[in-house]
Amino acid sequence: MQFPKTFTDRMHRMLGEEEFSTFLEALQQAPPVSIRINKAKAAPLPGLQPVPWSQTGFYLPARPFFTLDPAIHAGAYYVQEASSMFVEQALRQAINLEEPLQVLDLCGAPGGKSTLLASLLSEESLLVSNEVIRSRASILAENVAKWGSGNVLVTSNDPRDFGRLSDFFDVVVVDAPCSGEGMFRKDPQAIGEWSEENVNLCAQRQQRILMDVWEALRPGGVLIYSTCTWNEQENEANIAWLAEQEDAENIKLQLQSEWGVVPSQLKGVEGYRFYPHRVQGEGFFMAVMRKAGREETISHGKNRKKKCKLTIAGKKEQAQVQGWLQQPEQYTFLQYGEVISALPESLFEAADEVYQNLHVIYAGTELAEIKGKKLKPLQGLALSQHLHKGAFEVADLPLEQALRYLRKEDISLGTNGNDWLLLQYKGLPLGWAKGIGNRLNNYYPKEWRIRMELPAALPEESLVIS
């Protein structure tokens, strides 16, 4: 694998002769494979090596064909690069996760950090997960729905739009678009796209993004900034610049020596570097900052606007869907167009303010679509962590049938009926089918379907969950 000379010269200067040689050797090796378990849905196979800085991250001994594991489609785990799971340490060390928080994941797609945040935040917290590119925002919404936490709003907005939500967020995560040096061994295409000019452009864009979103962070709030690159311009220099521009305070994290994470400093601001010869992971940088100003209890959206944009569902529709969730009394049931969704009642005012100011494409748990006088259950409900299975007839599928269902093929269970059926694999809900006499109509979302042909020999069991 050949790397740009300006890149290798710089890394040589940064690391020194001996360490640079080890670094280059690591870049020629296969990247490790890591996943993060959704503890609300599954448990990892015993014996998997844990990611040391994450309570739910694990390394796999080999890369399985994830597409052929129904558990990943059910949101039982997420394939995430191990280094990026270090965001968990920033949250645990710098933030009281027991409190109800309003959190923004500004550059959320495809969903690794958003699903991590959703796992760590309390049920009384609101996560806004944003992606400016609409096609990527749809992928983000899919992964958020599969994770099924129910307290997330997915938006598709430019970073500057968040200035409308002044002092709104307690935590802002900016996993900034970058030159991608840390992904060289995982994504060889990144090598061909790299240039010093692109590094400079990325650094300038990152500064604009930080300024655009800074207004939305409340005084005393925490910013978590990360990239998957190693150059100083996009990392330490940008954070030192932010500290000077906004009088922001740097938050230092406690590291374990066995982690292999390298602290770095510029102008008194500390960040954390991940090198592939020191950690089991890809290149990564992260720093944590606190916004200047007195920490105050924010009203979290209450009474900021008299007129609500969100619409409460009708009593008839509410009565039909209430039994579909566990503890339905904790939810507000909303209607947007023909879709009925559920949002924790405590988040209504804050969510409404987000709707007032941003373009929301997915919210809470989508329960049903109104079809004339009847309701059609939706995929978000099937994958919700709060689904009440007892409200539906359930059928467990063997592996091949589960995969054919996920390919949106017609399947038969040899039963008769004319009702909705929740299909699952090893107890993990996959989606809906509708009985029509002795056949089933497959209601798996067309845009989510498995497109590959199934091989003649299928794996015997999941290599990830027990």
- Residues with catalytic roles: 228
Residues 6+ apart with CB under 8 A from 273: 230, 235, 261, 262, 263, 264, 284, 285
Three state DSSP letters for 66-116: HHHCHHHHCCCEEECCCHHHHHHHHHHHHCCCCCCCEEEECCCCCCHHHHH
Reference 400, options 69, 137, 151; nearest CA is 69
Q: β-strands 169-175, 217-227: how paired?
A: parallel
Residues 6+ apart with CB under 8 A from 196: 6
Instruction: For residue 188, say if its preceding peptide bond is cis, omega within 30 degrees of 0.
Output: no
Dihedral angle over CA of 212, 181, 231, 26, nearest 10: 140
Q: 303-334: buried (b, 16+ CB within 10 Å) or exposed (e) per residue?
A: eeeeeeebeebeeebbebbbebbeeeeebbbb
Q: How many residues does the chain have?
A: 466
Reference 363, options 389, 337, 329; nearest CA is 337
Residues 6+ apart with CB under 8 A from 275: 15, 23, 26, 230, 260, 262, 283
Q: Say if residues 246 and 277 touch (Cβ distance below 8 Å).
A: no
Reference 254, options 239, 277, 269, 270; nearest CA is 270
The two most distant CA atoms of the chain are separated, in Å, by 73
Neighbouring C-beta atoms of residue 24, cutoff 10 Å: 17
Query: What are the φ and ψ backbone dihedral angles of 37, each rounded to 5 degrees?
Result: -80, 140
Q: How far is CA 253 from CA 80, 92, 162, 289, in A?
A: 22, 10, 28, 11
